[in-house]
């Protein structure tokens, strides 16, 4: 109901804008208006699922209230419950993200404690805001919670580091509500090789322990996420996993050359596997910026001087954000837009088919582009898809249907494994 009201006010604003900004071409204006309206209606009807947000990094900050609307420019925050509602975003996976650190018992213990703290903050946030959101554990929960007019909150883990070397942790995380685990992050861990580790490969893909973890995830019904893994991790996961896999936030390498993106061969194999690639709103994975070595070295220097975001005080985070903003102003890069997003979707649909693509914005983890800057603007993806001729049935698959299908298959495989004892 409120959703509809919001759309009407949006349309009113749009009409007013068109009336003052254009004094000719009223026919094309009304065609545009009709298209936007049709897109917003589709966006409202389909289940919209975003499979990746690092918002728990903010949730563990004292005083950060998910029920409050935050100004994205002032605070850097990209997701809260009011903005999810504004954007018509029905469901989201909040990832408990632990940056890779020392791989010993002390490091593993600290990683697990931080991971549990984030998971607990997600759960308690859903309890505190039970009137507007609900904790989701199973595929159908998203539809049921959406029907109640609330947002569905799923839990994932980004980086298998908090599993440490103890396989029983996987079941503990499952019990807490975790439904996908990204095996590795930006450097190698005990489970798998990263696509971006400066030291290159260490295990040749997934390690022996990583293979055990995949097996345990299959048994429990946790989705195996290959985003951030190197190419061998993808091929190993396809081989090892008895259930379809996901890439919770990755794009197409043929469109934008980046090691975090997937080749056409991988996309085709993903289709054969029955899995899904969730498109992400990270500018560098969406478009190739012209070379800018000064900018690159300034970014590298800033990154090198950073301690893990999770260990920063609010003041340090603000200072970091301001440093990045200053750097962006000094060395501007061409923006990534929703057109780039749709180019990647078009390509994946061409190579892998309509059943193997979805959306994982990576808000609060670097995601956010012109036109889809935060959760309140995700409807612009749907508008661009309608503009390119995608049907409601296709958009329903992209926005959630495909991911939910994979999630259901992962659970079905787990039931079979458990039944076979
Ligand atoms: Zn990530």
**What class, spelled out in words, does domain 48-289+335-420 have in CATH?**
alpha beta
Q: Phi first, then psi: what are they for 51, rounded to 5°?
A: -90, 0
Q: What is the pLDDT of residue 24?
A: 53
Q: What secondary structure letter does DSSP report for 311? A: G
Distance from residue 239's CA to the centre of ligand 1 (Å): 23
Distance from residue 71's CA to the centre of ligand 1 (Å): 23
Residue-wise pLDDT for 298-326, tens only, equals 988 988 888 877 778 878 888 888 888 88
Distance from residue 193's CA to the centre of ligand 1 (Å): 14
On whether the CB atoms of residues 68 and 80 are closer than 8 A, the answer is yes
Question: Considering only CA atoms, which of 125, 391, 347 is closest in space to residue 250?
Answer: 347
Q: What secondary structure letter does DSSP report for 401? A: I
On whether the CB atoms of residues 248 and 156 are closer than 8 A, the answer is yes
On whether the CB atoms of residues 68 and 82 are closer than 8 A, the answer is yes
Task: Extract the residue ranges of the chain whose pLDDT is less than 50.
Answer: 1-13, 15-22
Distance from residue 74's CA to the centre of ligand 1 (Å): 23
Distance from residue 362's CA to the centre of ligand 1 (Å): 7
Distance from residue 97's CA to the centre of ligand 1 (Å): 8
Q: What is the pLDDT of residue 25?
A: 61
Distance from residue 96's CA to the centre of ligand 1 (Å): 11
CA distance 297 to 340: 25
Distance from residue 248's CA to the centre of ligand 1 (Å): 8
On whether the CB atoms of residues 355 and 361 are closer than 8 A, the answer is no
Distance from residue 21's CA to the centre of ligand 1 (Å): 39
Q: What is the pLDDT of residue 2?
A: 37
Predicted structure pTM score: 0.89
User: Where are the domains positioned within the chain?
Assistant: 1-20+27-45, 48-289+335-420, 292-333
* Residue 30 CB contacts under 8 Å (≥ 6 apart), including other chains: none
Q: Phi first, then psi: what are they for 179, rounded to 5°?
A: -120, -5
Q: What is the pLDDT of residue 273?
A: 97
Distance from residue 327's CA to the centre of ligand 1 (Å): 22
Distance from residue 61's CA to the centre of ligand 1 (Å): 20
CB atoms within 10 A of CB 45: 12
CA angle 321, 359, 14 (to 5 degrees): 75
Distance from residue 158's CA to the centre of ligand 1 (Å): 7
On whether the CB atoms of residues 362 and 53 are closer than 8 A, the answer is yes
Q: What is the pLDDT of residue 20?
A: 47
Distance from residue 368's CA to the centre of ligand 1 (Å): 13
Distance from residue 185's CA to the centre of ligand 1 (Å): 7
CA distance 104 to 109: 9
């Amino acid at each position: 109901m409120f959703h509809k009201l919001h759309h009407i006010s949006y349309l009113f604003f749009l009409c007013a804008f068109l009336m003052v900004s254009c004094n000719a071409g009223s026919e094309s204006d009304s065609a545009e208006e009709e298209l936007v309206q049709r897109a917003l209606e589709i966006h409202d009807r389909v289940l919209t699922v975003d499979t990746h947000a690092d918002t728990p990094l903010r949730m563990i900050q004292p005083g950060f209230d998910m029920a409050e609307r935050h100004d994205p420019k002032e605070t850097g925050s990209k997701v809260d419950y009011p903005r999810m509602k504004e954007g018509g975003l029905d469901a989201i996976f909040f990832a408990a993200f632990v940056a890779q650190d020392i791989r010993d018992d002390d490091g593993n213990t600290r990683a697990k404690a931080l991971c549990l703290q984030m998971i607990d903050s997600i759960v308690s946030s859903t309890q505190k805001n039970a009137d507007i959101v609900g904790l989701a554990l199973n595929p159908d929960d998203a539809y049921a919670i959406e029907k109640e007019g609330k947002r569905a909150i799923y839990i994932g883990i980004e980086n298998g580091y908090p599993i440490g070397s103890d396989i029983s942790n996987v079941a503990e995380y499952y019990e807490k509500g975790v439904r996908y685990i990204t095996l590795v992050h930006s450097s190698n861990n005990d489970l798998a090789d990263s696509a971006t580790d400066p030291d290159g490969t260490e295990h040749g893909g997934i390690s022996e322990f990583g293979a055990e973890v995949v097996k345990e995830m299959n048994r429990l019904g946790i989705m195996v996420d290959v985003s951030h893994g190197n190419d061998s991790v993808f091929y190993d996961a396809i081989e090892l996993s008895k259930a379809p896999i996901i890439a919770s936030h990755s794009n197409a390498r043929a469109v934008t050359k980046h090691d975090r993106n997937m080749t056409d061969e991988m996309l085709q194999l993903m289709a054969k596997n029955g899995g899904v690639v969730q498109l992400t709103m990270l500018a560098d994975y969406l478009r190739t910026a012209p070379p800018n070595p000064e900018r690159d070295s300034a970014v590298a220097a800033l990154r090198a001087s950073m301690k893990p975001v999770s260990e920063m005080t609010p003041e340090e985070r603000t200072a970091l954000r301001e440093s990045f903003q200053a750097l962006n102003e000094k060395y501007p890069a061409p923006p990534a837009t929703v057109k780039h997003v749709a180019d990647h979707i078009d390509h994946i649909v061409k190579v892998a088919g309509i059943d193997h693509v979805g959306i994982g914005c990576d808000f609060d983890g670097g995601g956010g582009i012109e036109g889809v800057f935060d959760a309140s603007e995700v409807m612009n993806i749907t508008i661009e898809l309608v503009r390119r001729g995608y049907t409601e049935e296709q958009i329903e698959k992209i926005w959630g249907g495909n991911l939910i299908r994979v999630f259901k298959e992962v659970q079905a495989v787990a039931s079979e494994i458990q039944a076979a004892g």
